[in-house]
Amino acid sequence: AVPLVVAISTAVSARNGLLIRNRTAFENSRMITTIIFDKTGTLTKGSHEVAEVVTFNNAITETEMLRLAAGVEQHSEHYISQGILRKAKEQNITVPASENFHYLPGKGLEGTVGGKDVKVVGPNYIQEFKIAVPENKAEEGVETAVYVLVDQQPVGYIKLRDQIRDESAEAIAVLKKNGIKNLLLTGDNERVAQNVSDKLQVDGFMANVLPHQKQEKVKELQAQNEFVAMTGDGVNDAPALAQADVGIAVGSGTDVAAETADIILVNSNPQDIASLILFGKATYRKMI
Ligand code: ADP
Ligand code: MG
């Protein structure tokens, strides 16, 4: 027979949009003291619409740049890739074949299109490899910008606009009211991270974070005796989800995140995390 508490918690978790993969982690969720949120796709929708396509010094046409970028992005399921591919489709661009595709984790991707090396990368890559870029407005405003490099030469940038999930602010507010610290971690740039953090009033944020650094941050907090939950949706969040005391994956995210997590937010609603913790505390009180 199924113990009553288990039966109740299973029913309540289903009603609250939670899929429990690890019961111990679920039961321990009442002990969470800090929650780390990935930004993109977790607190935001990952709806990434191309807002601007800008080329440098007529090095290339905007259509050609979009075509080359789409050529490499077709191999990735990242929100940035999907946004660029939607834009290409909208403009009736035939996406070219590409080869030698690989990820530059936390920085972008690379491939060969028509014999040319094409990279689509974040500002962090440009900085790291000290690539000289003409004066431009890519790194202004609160959109996510990616540069396009053809045979190592920067030819322009594409800006993409994401949207904050409607439920995110309320979720953060409830967590704060219950004394649970919250932190936003993102591979995206400082301005985008600051903007989302301000709008959601999170306790703190870190930008330009590489996948292994998300995991290190979880470890660091655990060493400070925090009981840490990590919420994420991407392949890049998997190490941190595994490291966390409670790993929570967003339902709309990647399979890798879901397979690594203890709990899945079926409706991709961050408010369900607040319900999870409060429910855990209430159930535990009833048991003792
Ligand atoms: P997050 O932590 O917000 O989920 P990621 O680690 O997935 O972010 O990505 C970090 C950064 O790497 C992006 O903001 C972008 O600059 C770059 N990047 C990641 N994936 C892609 C892609 N498919 N195309 C271009 N740039 C990418
Ligand atoms: Mg993400």
56 and 40 co-located in one domain: no
35 and 92 co-located in one domain: no
Q: Is the CB of 81 under 6 A from ligand 1?
A: yes
39 and 73 co-located in one domain: no
170 and 154 co-located in one domain: no
Nearest CA to ligand 1 atom 12: 107
For residue 66, the enclosing domain spans 49-161
150 and 204 co-located in one domain: no
pTM (predicted TM-score): 0.90
The atom number, within ligand 1, closest to the CA of 236 reads 6
| Residue 38 annotated as catalytic | yes
Residue 101 is predicted with a pLDDT of 97
28 and 171 co-located in one domain: yes
What is the β-pairing status of strands 228-232 and 246-250? parallel
Q: Is the CB of 106 under 6 A from ligand 1?
A: yes
Nearest CA to ligand 1 atom 25: 108
Annotated active-site residue in 38, 162, 245, 262: 38
Dihedral sign for Cα 121, 126, 128, 131, please: positive
220 and 84 co-located in one domain: no
Nearest CA to ligand 1 atom 21: 108
Measured in angstroms, how far is the CA atom of residue 175 from the centroid of ligand 1? 27
Residue 234 is predicted with a pLDDT of 86
Q: What is the ipTM of this complex?
A: 0.95
Q: Is the CB of 46 under 6 A from ligand 1?
A: no
Kindly report, residue by residue over 7-26, the tens digit of the pLDDT: 556 666 777 788 999 989 98
Contact indicator for 250, 18 with CB cutoff of 8 Å: no
Domain stop point among 106, 129, 161: 161
The atom number, within ligand 1, closest to the CA of 188 reads 14
Residue 4 is predicted with a pLDDT of 56
The atom number, within ligand 1, closest to the CA of 210 reads 6
Which residue, 100, 151, 152, is CA-closest to 126? 152
274 and 263 co-located in one domain: yes
Q: Is the CB of 186 under 6 A from ligand 1?
A: yes
Query: How many structural domains comprise the chain?
Result: 2
Residue 11 is predicted with a pLDDT of 65
Measured in angstroms, how far is the CA atom of residue 89 from the centroid of ligand 2? 24
Q: Is the CB of 254 under 6 A from ligand 1?
A: no
CATH of the domain at 28: 3.40.50.1000
Domain stop point among 121, 139, 161: 161
Q: Is the CB of 232 under 6 A from ligand 1?
A: no
230: which strand partners?
36, 247
Residue 14 is predicted with a pLDDT of 72
Coil, helix or strand for 204? Answer: strand
What is the β-pairing status of strands 99-104 and 108-113? antiparallel
Domain stop point among 161, 182, 215: 161
**Which residues of the chain, if any, have pLDDT below 70?**
1-12, 284-288
Kindly report, residue by residue over 124-138, the tens digit of the pLDDT: 999 999 999 999 999
21 and 96 co-located in one domain: no
279 and 190 co-located in one domain: yes
Residue whose entry in the numeric block shows the structure tokens 């989800």: 241
The ligand that comes nearest to the alpha carbon of residue 102 is: 1
Task: Quote the tokens at residue 14.
Answer: 């289903």
Residue 285 is predicted with a pLDDT of 67
Which residue, 126, 263, 243, is CA-closest to 185? 243
35 and 73 co-located in one domain: no
41 and 172 co-located in one domain: yes
Q: Is the CB of 38 under 6 A from ligand 1?
A: yes
Residue whose entry in the numeric block shows the structure tokens 């937010």: 265
The ligand that comes nearest to the alpha carbon of residue 148 is: 1
19: which strand partners?
264
CATH of the domain at 98: 3.40.1110.10
Give the single-character DSSP code of 135: S
The atom number, within ligand 1, closest to the CA of 125 reads 16
